[in-house]
């Protein structure tokens, strides 16, 4: 008889280190997030998404010349292959944007001339194409499902501004484009979250980068991961639609019913998510500019009520996460709720690709290895580990005799 595996019970691999990484670091107790040595606050204040993507992929901030070359490569790769756009036009218009995005990734793979070249340089070129094209796919699907023409990229615009242009057909002003740029920076990486782990696990089999990214998109789609921002917006809109004005009472009622306050709490952070602090400022800044203060103000009211009620219940570690205020920001920018997780993907693609490359090549001290965790078998079907096979005609109908 096989010997059972002895293990320590663990939920969702919490606290289990599965690999080394040099890409990003989180201190959940202090609310710190670092990309390759740089605090997220500094990058949000001073960097751009292309520069941050370069940092994640190439391990260092670029020189002026390197950044110009990287942005040129991004602009050259923005344009989607015609067969992909034609294929997307045949998809059901009711398809969720995340399903459309996940379906598009393998089609992008078919168009990549470096697909089967597994050198580091080829993977970096694939990463550039993916960083450039995922926003274009998101924008294209949003327009196709509305019966609108897919817009060509505008190479005079920045990465963030072009994303807004291709999605809505309006060239954003500099301030709005900068808000979008910061949002992309904030979501670019977050160590071994569920989608990044999915990417790394898949490519540990030596699958190509696109296979890993498709897995990452699938993992991100769940409401416990990237889909949470859409749930936050649904929560806010429901409060408004129901005419609720007693926010503390509503929060108390939710918690009494064991319901979650969407956007509150994080698997890692025990204080406010540092990205949420920045997004909170952006939400109020953008709301003031566009005349939509309702959403950030309502979010803030829910935050204050939730923190007070949770504190009274001894749950001070439950704080706003990145989704809590990103919902308001994206809504004010004009993105519908079901497109919000796609923005997450259009940003996280930089981190996914960096992690995929790290998984494939390791470093001087580490060697890539196939992910092969163990599980504890808890089946007990006949009172012992291995059952005797009984032919169908001799089996007792358990359901009928019950």
pLDDT single digits (tens) 98-125: 999 999 999 999 999 999 999 999 999 9
pLDDT at 170 over 90: yes
Mean pLDDT over 202-221 rounds to 96
Let me know: does 280 contact 296? Beta carbons within 8 Å: yes
Q: Give the tens place of pLDDT for each residue, 290-323.
A: 999 999 999 999 999 999 999 999 998 889 988 8
CA 4 – CA 55 distance, rounded (Å)? 45
pLDDT at 287 over 50: yes
The pLDDT assigned to 303 comes to 94
Instruction: Please indicate, yes or no, whether residues 83 and 102 belong to a single structural domain of this protein.
Output: yes
CA 326, 171, 325: angle at the middle one, nearest 5? 5
The pLDDT assigned to 271 comes to 87
266, 300, 331, 355: the catalytic one is 266
Instruction: Please indicate, yes or no, whether residues 115 and 179 belong to a single structural domain of this protein.
Output: yes
In a domain, 382, yes or no: no
pLDDT at 34 over 90: yes
Catalytic: 323? yes
DSSP type of residue 145: T
CA 79 – CA 330 distance, rounded (Å)? 24
In a domain, 291, yes or no: yes
In a domain, 6, yes or no: no
In a domain, 8, yes or no: no
CA 239 – CA 299 distance, rounded (Å)? 10
> Residue 294 has which token pair?
């309702």
Instruction: Please indicate, yes or no, whether residues 248 and 193 belong to a single structural domain of this protein.
Output: no
User: Domain span at residue 312?
Assistant: 230-331
Mean pLDDT over 383-389 rounds to 86
pLDDT at 48 over 90: yes
Domain boundary among 331, 353, 382: 331
**Number of separate domains in the chain:** 2
CATH number of the CATH domain containing 107:
1.10.580.10
Instruction: Please indicate, yes or no, whether residues 205 and 284 belong to a single structural domain of this protein.
Output: no
CA 23 – CA 330 distance, rounded (Å)? 26
Mean pLDDT over 5-28 rounds to 74
112, 190, 323, 355: the catalytic one is 323
The pLDDT assigned to 110 comes to 97
In a domain, 315, yes or no: yes
CA 86 – CA 90 distance, rounded (Å)? 7
Instruction: Please indicate, yes or no, whether residues 221 and 234 belong to a single structural domain of this protein.
Output: no
Percentage of residues in the chain having pLDDT higher than 70: 94
**Comparing 235-249, 362-376, 387-401, which segment has the lowest mean pLDDT?**
362-376
Catalytic: 266? yes
> Residue 375 has which token pair?
């599980």
7 three-state secondary structure: coil
pLDDT at 33 over 50: yes
Instruction: Please indicate, yes or no, whether residues 167 and 203 belong to a single structural domain of this protein.
Output: yes
Mean pLDDT over 53-77 rounds to 98
The pLDDT assigned to 265 comes to 85
The pLDDT assigned to 26 comes to 93
Confidence of residue 364 (pLDDT cuts 50, 70, 90): very low
Confidence of residue 76 (pLDDT cuts 50, 70, 90): very high
Highest mean pLDDT among 6-15, 81-90, 303-312, 384-393: 81-90
In a domain, 402, yes or no: no
CATH number of the CATH domain containing 296:
1.10.230.10
The pLDDT assigned to 10 comes to 61
Percentage of residues in the chain having pLDDT higher than 90: 76
Instruction: Please indicate, yes or no, whether residues 186 and 272 belong to a single structural domain of this protein.
Output: no
Instruction: Please indicate, yes or no, whether residues 176 and 134 belong to a single structural domain of this protein.
Output: yes
The pLDDT assigned to 402 comes to 46
Instruction: Please indicate, yes or no, whether residues 141 and 239 belong to a single structural domain of this protein.
Output: no
Instruction: Please indicate, yes or no, whether residues 265 and 305 belong to a single structural domain of this protein.
Output: yes
In a domain, 375, yes or no: no
Instruction: Please indicate, yes or no, whether residues 82 and 144 belong to a single structural domain of this protein.
Output: yes
Give me the residue label for tokens 């400022």: 281
Confidence (pTM) = 0.91
Task: Find the Cα–Cα–Cα–Cα dihedral 381, 386, 389, 395, rounded to 10°.
Answer: -20
Instruction: Please indicate, yes or no, whether residues 221 and 248 belong to a single structural domain of this protein.
Output: no
């Amino acid at each position: 008889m096989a010997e059972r595996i002895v293990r320590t019970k663990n939920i969702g691999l919490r606290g289990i280190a599965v690999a080394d990484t040099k890409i990003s670091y989180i201190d959940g107790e202090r609310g710190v997030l670092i990309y390759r040595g740089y605090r997220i606050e500094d990058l949000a204040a001073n960097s751009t998404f292309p520069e941050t993507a370069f940092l994640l992929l190439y391990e260092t901030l670029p020189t002026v010349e390197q950044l110009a070359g990287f942005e040129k490569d991004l602009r050259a790769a923005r344009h989607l292959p015609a067969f992909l756009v034609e294929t997307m036009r045949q998809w059901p218009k009711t398809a969720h944007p995340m399903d459309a995005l996940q379906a598009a990734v393998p089609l992008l793979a078919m168009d990549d001339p470096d697909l089967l070249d597994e050198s580091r340089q080829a993977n970096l070129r694939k990463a550039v194409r993916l960083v450039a094209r995922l926003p274009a796919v998101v924008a294209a699907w949003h327009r196709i499902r509305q019966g609108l023409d897919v817009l060509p990229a505008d190479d005079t615009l920045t990465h963030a501004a072009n994303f807004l242009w291709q999605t809505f057909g309006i060239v954003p002003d500099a301030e709005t484009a900068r808000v979008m740029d910061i949002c992309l920076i904030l979501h670019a990486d977050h160590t071994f979250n569920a989608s990044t782990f999915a990417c790394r696990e898949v490519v540990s089999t030596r699958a190509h980068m696109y296979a890993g990214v498709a897995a990452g998109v699938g993992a991100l789609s769940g409401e416990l991961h990237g889909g949470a921002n859409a749930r936050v917006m649904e929560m806010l809109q429901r409060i408004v639609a129901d005419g609720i004005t007693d926010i503390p009472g509503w929060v108390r009622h939710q918690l009494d019913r064991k319901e979650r306050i969407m956007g509150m709490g994080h698997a890692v952070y025990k204080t406010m998510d540092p990205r949420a602090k920045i997004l909170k400022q952006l939400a109020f800044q953008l709301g003031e500019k566009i005349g939509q203060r309702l959403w950030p103000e309502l979010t803030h009211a829910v935050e204050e009520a939730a923190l007070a009620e949770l504190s009274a219940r001894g749950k001070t570690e439950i704080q706003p996460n990145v989704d809590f205020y990103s919902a308001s920001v994206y809504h004010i920018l004009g993105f519908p709720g079901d497109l919000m997780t796609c923005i997450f993907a259009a940003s996280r693609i930089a981190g996914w690709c960096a992690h995929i490359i790290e998984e494939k090549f390791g470093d001087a001290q580490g060697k890539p290895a196939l992910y092969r965790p163990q599980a504890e078998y808890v089946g007990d079907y006949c009172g012992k580990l291995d059952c005797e096979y009984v032919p169908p005609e001799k089996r007792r109908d358990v359901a009928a005799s019950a």
